[in-house]
């Protein structure tokens, strides 16, 4: 037997509470009926040895109490709506309410909620749960929780600007031990499911889709927007790729896209069409700013009508080089168009270790081998784990390109890299590596190291090629990976950065906010994936309050009538 409206623990807890409540009420009940008698003198004497019942005195009316308790229990049981047979054969149901951008059309989510609510009423309470499939998959109703809570928790929910994560939920079902053997996922919405996902399902797991969701209407939107190194080779510019998608008879012409930078229309930038549905913006200046692409579309889905991108800010860095260092460093700075030699007001300095040149400015220092254990010692600010910092430094500073083995042979000692936390950023390198015999300054890694070390020391912000909802972020600034404000938090957790939904992604200190766009081909084109079997609870489950519940309530009413009769006849107090 199971209960439609209450779980067994709640039923038992309620029954115990009723018993306790009635007992207390019986104890407290001192409602005197006033009766006039001529024989009060006898009553006074008769009651002298048996005082009236008062609070917490002897409990007297056991039969009356038991009758009242029986009536209350029957009503409580009727309310719980017991069901002898399980119409779904003991299967566990995961009801997935799609709250992704697939449900953005007006009325879609309301329809899904109505369907789910109807089905919820007909499923065993202890063998079903509801998941909200928005930007994250959240448990909306646990197994055993009252169905009434669903109505309360669903208030205020709206489709989120994110692709569906239903496949993650399906993957979770497949995990051994995560769910009962026989489990059925029912999707209330258009969240697409790939065929590959279904092929990996374990035995006993079924995926259904609630019927009644028609094909979405024609739509078009931006499905990709990202930046890359400028094909022209300019260090201070990037190329931006924009791609569109459309369904029905809607077009994806490059001219449909409106571009703006920090709110102003973009001008003076070469735009190339990339057939069949893309365009490239050439040499967009890396001067920072928010680049927005918007496509006018008279469709029901607005989340994909625009996309935004934070452009990198690449500026010339003023570098001062100590006279105690060799000319090779001067040459490296002069060769890098992003670096400018400036004796006055430099932003960072190259100097020998222990030299006072540049004061407290960020510095690339060179120390004699006999004074420094490791060839490269990096001091970073912040609370990043040292191991992570070291790992990032290899790529971030281009150290992975160095011929470490050759340097070690030449130096006659191991070439190591050490990262440690400190108040300011600092990079310290063996001074001897500047010597020609080490072949470091002549290697292709040297200018890269000088360039990246300079920009890291100048604390430039990280650059992301794109930030799309539900997709891993692609970072285009490995040289700043050691302290990127957007990644430090996620890397501390050992996770990759994947913004959940469209909007803005703030850095932990809230100083930076990167735009996140929907950029989902599946959402824009209304992909439904593999066709799933429709879900329909059995007819037995659709039959409102059960007959058994009705009988219980009738029995309670009959007992109530009997109690009244007994009271009137003086058979009970």
Partner 1 sequence: MPSAAPTVEEIFDTEFLTALQGFSLWARRIISGGRHAEQLSRDKGAGLEFADYKAYVPGDDTRTIDWNIYRRLGRVVVKVFEERQELPVYLLVDRSGSMYFEAAPKIGVALKVALALTSISLSQHDSVGLFSFSNDLEMKLRAASGHGRLMRVAERLAELDEQGSTELVQAIQGVERLRLRRGLLVVISDFYDPAGLEEVLGSLRQTRHRLLLVQLIGNHDLDPSGRRDLRGDVRLRDCESGEAVDVSLTPAILENYRAIVNDFNDSLTRFATERGAAFLRLNTDEEVLPQLAAAFEAGSIEI
Binding site residues, partner 1, CB under 8 A: 29-47, 49-50, 52-53, 60-61, 567-568, 570, 572-573
Nearer to partner 1, 264 or 568 (CB): 568
Contact in structure between 160 and 102 (CB atoms under 8 Å): no
Considering the complex, what minimum distance in angstroms separates the CB of residue 87 from partner 1?
47
Q: What is the nearest approach in angstroms of partner 1 to the Cβ of residue 30?
A: 6
Nearest to 79 by CA among 550, 570, 510: 550
Q: CB 391: neighbour CB atoms within 10 A?
A: 16
- Shortest CB 571 distance to partner 1, Å: 9
Nearer to partner 1, 47 or 492 (CB): 47
Which helix (H) or strand (E) is 205 found in, with range?
strand 205-210
Neighbours of 96 (CB within 10 A): 30
Residue 385: closest CA among 495, 473, 511: 495
Residue 67 beta carbon to partner 1: minimum distance, rounded to whole angstroms: 14
What CA–CA distances, in Å, run from 69 to 11, 17, 552? Answer: 14, 11, 14
Backbone angles phi, psi at 237, to 5 degrees: -145, 160
Comparing CB distances to partner 1, the nearer of 26 and 521 is 26
Closest to partner 1 by CB, 547 or 561: 561
> Which tokens in the block code for residue 122?
């007909």
Contact 134, 98 (CB under 8 A): no
Cβ neighbours of residue 496 closer than 8 Å, sequence gap 6 or more: 472, 473, 490
> What do you get for the CA distance between the two ends of the chain, in Å?
36
Local structure of 534: helix, strand or coil: strand
**Which one, 32 or 215, has the nearer CB to partner 1?**
32
CB 178 within 8 A of CB 172: yes
Residue nearer to partner 1 on the CB measure, 152 or 569:
569
> How far apart are CB 92 and partner 1 at their closest, in Å?
51
Give the dihedral sign, CA 193/194/197/203.
Answer: positive
Closer to partner 1 by Cβ: residue 39 or 370:
39
Q: How far is it, in rounded angstroms, from Cα 127 to Cα 2?
A: 10
Measured distance CA(466)–CA(514) in Å, rounded: 10
**Please, are residues 397 and 379 in contact by the beta-carbon 8 Å criterion?**
no
Q: Which of 191, 190, 242, 240 is nearest to 220 (CA)?
A: 242
Burial class (CB in 10 A: 0-12, 13-18, 19+), 183: buried
By three-state DSSP, how is residue 367 classified? strand
* Closer residue to partner 1, CB minimum distance, 41 or 155: 41
Nearer Cβ to partner 1, position 43 or 331?
43
Q: Which CB atom, from 45 or from 118, has the smaller least distance to partner 1?
A: 45
Residue 26: CB minimum distance to partner 1, A:
11
**In the block, residue with structure tokens 């409206």:** 5
Residue among 38 and 176 whose Cβ is closer to partner 1 = 38
- CB 175: neighbour CB atoms within 10 A? 9
Q: How far is the CB of 549 from partner 1 (least distance, A)?
A: 33
């Amino acid at each position: 037997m199971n209960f439609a409206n209450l779980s067994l623990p709640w039923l038992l807890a309620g029954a115990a509470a009723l018993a306790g409540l009635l007992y207390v009420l019986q104890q407290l009940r001192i409602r005197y009926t006033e009766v006039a008698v001529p024989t009060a003198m006898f009553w006074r004497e008769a009651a002298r040895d048996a005082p009236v019942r008062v609070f917490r005195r002897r409990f007297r009316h056991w039969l009356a109490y038991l009758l009242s308790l029986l009536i209350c229990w029957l009503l409580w049981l009727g309310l719980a709506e017991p069901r002898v047979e399980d119409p779904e054969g003991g299967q566990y149901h995961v009801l997935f309410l799609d709250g992704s951008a697939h449900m953005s059309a007006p009325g879609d989510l309301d329809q899904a909620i109505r369907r789910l609510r109807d089905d919820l009423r007909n499923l065993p309470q202890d063998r079903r749960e509801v998941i909200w499939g928005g930007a994250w998959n959240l448990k909306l109703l646990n197994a055993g929780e009252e169905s009434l809570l669903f109505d309360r928790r669903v208030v205020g929910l709206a489709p989120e600007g994110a692709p569906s994560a239903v496949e993650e939920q399906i993957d979770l079902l497949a995990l051994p031990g995560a769910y009962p053997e026989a489990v059925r996922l029912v999707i209330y919405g258009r969240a697409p499911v790939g065929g590959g996902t279904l092929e990996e399902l374990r035995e006993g797991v079924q995926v259904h889709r609630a019927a009644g969701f028609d094909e979405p209407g024609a739509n078009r939107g931006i499905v990709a927007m990202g930046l890359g190194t400028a094909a022209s080779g300019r260090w201070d510019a990037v190329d931006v790729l924009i791609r569109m998608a459309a369904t029905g008879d809607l077009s994806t012409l490059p001219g449909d896209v409106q571009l703006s930078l920090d709110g102003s229309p973009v001008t003076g930038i070469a735009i190339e069409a990339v057939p069949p549905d893309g365009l490239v913006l050439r040499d967009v200046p890396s001067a920072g700013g928010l680049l927005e692409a918007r496509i006018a579309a008279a469709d029901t889905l607005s989340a994909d009508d625009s996309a935004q991108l934070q452009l990198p800010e690449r500026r010339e860095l003023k570098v001062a080089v100590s006279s105690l260092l060799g000319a090779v460093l001067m040459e490296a700075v002069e060769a890098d168009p992003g670096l400018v030699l400036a004796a006055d007001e430099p932003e960072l300095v190259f100097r020998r270790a222990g030299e006072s040149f540049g004061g407290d400015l960020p510095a690339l220092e060179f120390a004699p081998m006999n004074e420094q254990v490791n060839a490269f010692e990096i001091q970073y600010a912040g609370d990043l784990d040292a191991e992570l910092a070291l790992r990032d430094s290899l790529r971030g500073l281009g150290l992975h390109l160095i011929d470490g083995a050759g340097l070690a042979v030449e130096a006659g000692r191991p070439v190591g890299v050490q990262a440690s936390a400190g108040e300011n950023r600092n990079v310290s390198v063996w001074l001897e590596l500047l010597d020609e015999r080490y072949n470091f300054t002549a290697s292709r890694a040297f200018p890269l190291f000088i360039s990246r070390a300079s920009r890291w020391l100048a604390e430039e912000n990280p650059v992301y090629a794109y930030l799309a909802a539900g997709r891993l972020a692609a970072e285009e600034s490995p040289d700043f990976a050691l302290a990127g404000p957007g990644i430090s938090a996620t890397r501390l957790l050992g996770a990759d950065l994947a913004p959940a939904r469209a909007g803005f992604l703030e850095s932990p200190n809230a100083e930076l906010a990167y735009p996140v766009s929907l950029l989902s081909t599946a959402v824009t084109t209304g992909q439904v994936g593999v066709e799933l079997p429709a879900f329909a609870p059995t007819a037995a489950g659709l039959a409102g309050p059960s007959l058994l519940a009705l009988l219980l309530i009738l029995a309670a009413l009959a007992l109530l009538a009997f109690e009244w009769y007994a009271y009137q006849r003086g058979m009970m107090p």
